[in-house]
Structures are given as structure tokens and as C-alpha cells.
Chain A
């Protein structure tokens, strides 16, 4: 049982390049999320998917797109990377339990944009 997996673990991009961060979960969860972590700012929600086939913006969606490919997979795409997108990206999944959503996080992707 791998939980939430993310690829790649590290990535360096040049400004203007594009890339897709992959996330997959094997817990049969309906909801999935993408967060970014920046020093001194905690984690901030980029996009989320409440269920397969739906996606919605979070707090900081500009410059990103997402795809909920199926129930297992939720990808994050940077169409034209900018230095401001240098960050650590975390994917998470969750299912409702006793009225609350328990989120399980992936190991993170460290992205540097030069």
C-alpha cells in the first residue's frame, strides 16, 4: 500500500518551460489536492478535486492547471514556469471520516525555476 505517490521528486526548469507534476493515490479516495509550500507561508492550496471529474481553484491557482485523470490520479501542470513558482509541491488525498476529511500527503516535489 503506497499511499500517495508523487513524481518527480526533484525538478529544475528554466523560465518559460512547461512540466507536469504527477500524483497518484491507491486508497480509493474521492478528494485530491495540490498545495505549495514556501518558506514562512506554510502550505497554500493551489487546486483541488472533490471527486473524479471535478476540479476547483484554491487560494493560489494562477499559473497552474490541473487534470483529474481518473479517481487515482491528479496532475498539476505549469504551462510556462516562472521563478515565483519555485517551491515544494505536495499532493494529498482524503476521504470523509466521522464528519471530517483526513488528508494523506505525498512526499513532495521540490521544483526550482531558474
Chain B
């Protein structure tokens, strides 16, 4: 069975600090996809990134960066120079690949979420 663990329940930082949100996953599949979602106080889920199991390149998008390490089954998310608008709940999620031979149909397994509060 798949499992995603976000060990940090809550993180509190002061604006302009860098912050890393940890995500560790478990799966027996060789083909899988990892995601990060942001849930701001308004409640909607905002897609941030998708990464497939064959691509271990790190990715940077503005102040956001992601570090994917298959050797440690981790997909960590770093916000550089955090801002108050980054305050949200962040979810890491995992799905089996469509060509893995199973019947996942894109079902997502979510971590518990990390509440990030950025203080001015």
C-alpha cells in the first residue's frame, strides 16, 4: 500500500526566512508520481508541482524549489525568502503511474499536511 508522511505538523517562521517542508513516501510501484498542493485559508486546493519517478532533477520555480531523492524516498519542498502569502496548509501526495499495470486511475494518497505560518 502507498503511504505519504509529512512529519512536520506545523511550522512557524518569520518573513524572509527559508523553510523546508519534508515529505517521505512509500510505494512498491516502480512508476509513480509525486505532487505538492497548497491549501490557502480560503480552502481551495492549488496544484504546485508534479514529478514522475523517473525524473530526479530538482526543480525551481521562483521562490519555490523541490528536491526529489529516490534513494531516501523523499520529495521535499523549500520556500526561499518566505512571505506572509505563503501561509497555508501544504500537502504532499502520491499516485501510481497510469502505465504501471494497476488500476490506480490517478487515485491520490495524501500526506497529513503541514501548516505553515509566516509571520510579518
Q: Which residues of A contact B (CB under 8 A)?
A: 31, 33, 35, 40-45, 48, 50, 56, 58, 88, 90, 94, 96, 99-105, 107-108, 110
Contact = CB atoms under 8 A, between A and B. Distances in A.
B50 A100 contact: yes
16 contacts: A31-B106, A33-B106, A35-B108, A43-B110, A44-B110, A58-B107, A99-B31, A99-B52, A101-B33, A101-B95, A101-B98, A101-B105, A102-B106, A104-B47, A105-B45, A107-B43
A21 to B, nearest CB: 15
Question: Could you say which interface size class chain B belongs to?
Answer: 20 to 34
Nearest to A102: B50
Interface of B: 4, 6, 9, 31, 33, 43-45, 47, 50, 52, 91, 93, 95, 97-99, 103-113
